[in-house]
Amino acid sequence: MVMPVNKVVYGGETLIDLTSLTVSADTMDEGVTAVDASGAVITGTGSSLSEHINDTNNPHGVTPAQIGLTTEQTRTITVSTSAPSGGNNGDIWIVVSS
């Protein structure tokens, strides 16, 4: 078994120093690998990135003015494999081809 290494000093110069890393398995998405402050390989057990990507409640608090809109507008975004049909003027339709 290989012992983890978290600091490499050569000729009195520190070449690698992982001792201040704060990453932990629960703060990384499931299946992602990294090293922790001890130099040990860890695998993510969390789902924070996936949850963030799927959060449609404006998690960053972006205002209409920040993206060039003068008033708030609600639009429907449809993702489908078929051609658009129906909807309202200004709706967004994304066609996905398989």
Can you give the residue ranges of every domain in the chain? 7-55+72-95
Highest mean pLDDT pick, 13-17, 53-57, 77-81, 85-89: 13-17
The per-residue pLDDT for range 9-26, each reduced to its tens digit, is: 999 999 999 999 999 998
Q: What are phi and psi of 2, to 5 degrees?
A: -90, 130
**Nearest-angstrom CA–CA distance, 92 and 78:** 6
In angstroms, the Cα distances linking 42 to 33, 47, 96 are 6, 15, 36
Q: Which residue has the tokens 């990294």?
A: 34
pLDDT of residue 20: 93
Q: Which helix (DSSP H) or strand (DSSP E) does residue 54 occupy? A: helix 48-54
Say whether pTM exceeds 0.75: no
